[in-house]
Structure 1
Amino acid sequence: MKILPKNERESLMKDAQFTVTIPPEEGLAMKANLNIQWHKLRIMRRWLKSWGAEMASERKQRNVMRDKVEAIDIRAEAIPLSFELRNGNRELRPSPLGYVGDLKGLLFHVLEENKSLGKLTWHGDMIPSDEIWIKIGGDKGGSSFKMSFQIVNLARPNFVQNCVVFALFEGPDTVTNLHIALDRYTDIIEEIQNSKWRNYSIRVFMFGDYQLLCHLYGLSGASGGNLKHAKLYGNVIGQRFFDIPLTQESQIKKQETIIKKGFDKEDGVFVCALDNALASFRVERQAYHGGSFIGNHIHRALKEQNIDTLCSSVVDTAQAYDSALLPKAFLIEEKFKKALTLFAKCHTLYDGKALFTQEDIIMLDVSI
Structure 2
Amino acid sequence: MAFKGVITRLVWCPPLSCIRWLVQYGIKTASEHKMRALQKAIIDNNVLAEYHQMKHTDEDTGGSIIKSTPCVPLVHKVHQQLDAYDKTDQLTWHDGLIPADEIWLKLGGDKGGKIFKQMFQMANLQHPNSPQHTIVVCAFEATDSQFNMDLGLMHFREQVVQLMSSQWRGRKFKLFVFGDYKYFCKIYGLTGPTGRHCCLWCTMQYSDMRLPLQMRTKNCEPRSLESMKRSLDEFRSKGGIPAKAKNFHNVIREPLMSVPLSQVCIPGLHISLGLFMKHFNSFENNCHRLDMEVSTTLSAQDIKDHDDSFTSSYKNLVQITHSARSEDAQAKAIADTSQALMLQMTTLAVATEPADPAVQMLAEAHANSLKLSKSKALWKSRDTALKTGKGPIAGVLDTTLKTIRVCRQAYHGGSFVGNHVHKCSRELSGKYQGLFTRFAECHNVYNSASIMTDDIINKLEEDITSYCQYFRVEFTTDSCPPKFHMLVEHIIPFIKQWRFGLGFLGEQGGEGVHARLNNIR
TM-score interval, normalised by the smaller of the two chains: 0.3 to 0.5
Name the structure where helix makes up a greater proportion of residues.
2
TM-score by length of 2: 0.35
Would you tell me which structure has more strand in proportion to its own residues? 1
TM-score (normalised: structure 1): 0.48
